[in-house]
Structure 1
Amino acid sequence: MAESLPQSGESAQLVQDLAQDFVRFAVDAGVLRFGEFKTKAGRMSPYFFNAGLFDDGAKMAQLSEFYAKAILASGIEFDMVFGPAYKGIPLAATVAVELARQGRNVPFAYNRKEAKDHGEGGSLVGAPLKGKVLIIDDVMSAGTAARESIALIQSAGATPHAMAIALDRQEKATENGQDVPHSAVQYVRDHLGLKVATIAKLEDLLAFLAQGEAAEKMREHHSRVLSYRRQYGVHD
């Protein structure tokens, strides 16, 4: 996990086990699929992660548990959580509930795409933005949502401090249609100055496909994902 505190061998193993359990959960839930999928960058990817398919109460409860454990294991400091519209809204709410269940009760907020001109008005809903804010989203492809959230949080007088995402694709981002040497996660971490916690990375997916029962069922997928990473991958 990026930008986390130093971990002992035992805690590092717990993080690896969490990542493997999450990949297995995402595959079983049909959220992580294999085939041919066109990415926003125009690449043909051999896998696709669609967090919108965490679409019932049981899946969201399990997903929020993975987020909460990954966030707490990262050692990142934060005073509240924020969910950027739209996918970040249920994530922020359910992760806040799970963090409270695990003994870390913090406020949460989210934004609307369009500001209300009646009632409480404005584009923000929930607790006032203040202190160190942890942004919760599903994946990052270009860092655009991160920049928008940073601007919104700063305009409210709070500090955008970190992001938590489900899956780091560990692949080159694109700018003006051209590949760049860094990934979206690296851009957010190194250029925007936010710490980043991830539940799992592409390398965890490859490890899952290469070992145990998955190796027999998904050998072809492993080969294709590995080839994709060799062409577009980045390394921290």
Structure 2
Amino acid sequence: MSNVYIVEDDPVIAGAVADHLATWQMQSRCAKDFEHILEEVEEYQPDIILLDIKLPYYNGFYWCMEIRKTSKVPIIFISSADDNMNIVMAMNIGADDFISKPFDLQVLTAKIQAVLRRSYGTALSIHKLECGKVELNLDTTTASVDGSQMELTKNEFLILKTLMEHAGSVVSRETIMERLWGNDEFVDDNTLTVNMTRIRRKMEAAGVKDFIVTKRGLGYIVGE
């Protein structure tokens, strides 16, 4: 599991990023003491840092230069101050990438994974869940059966990931819907059923029958 240190002054943005990265099995820690970022980096020892430019006390450029004095940890700037001068400055002082706000969380995740692969090779890049013949690659968001790969939509991937993380245990529909759509009360319950049907069809086409078992009134289970 990769450790991500988020240096972002807006707690809403920082929390949303941390919650999203958790669905990709990345552990996040948000900066708490913006006057002592270097000390927090040394304490946490992250695998990668997300760093905004506009921060209390000292800006992101300052902290990037301070971190680079003692560490080669990958740094991605995330900032709305995305004019060419700031981007060039960030890269010149040691940043590995720059993402402009507002950003899509899926794009952010892909950028993080790409930087991790470049920085650590395969050491942090391959994460998989296995259950029987089914293997779920958390980096490519694909599933495979005996080496035969199948493409998944975002929702199909998150459903399989949730079930396979709890293999052998029943997962309620509410838990799955919470993982997919958060606290959105307006999501049609049938949407989950449709996604589940599509996953089952793909599994059957790959030669795996009854991979997802319905427990009436309780939820779903894999690896029973």
TM normalised by structure 1 equals: 0.31
Higher RCO by CA contacts (8 Å cutoff, separation 6 or greater): 1
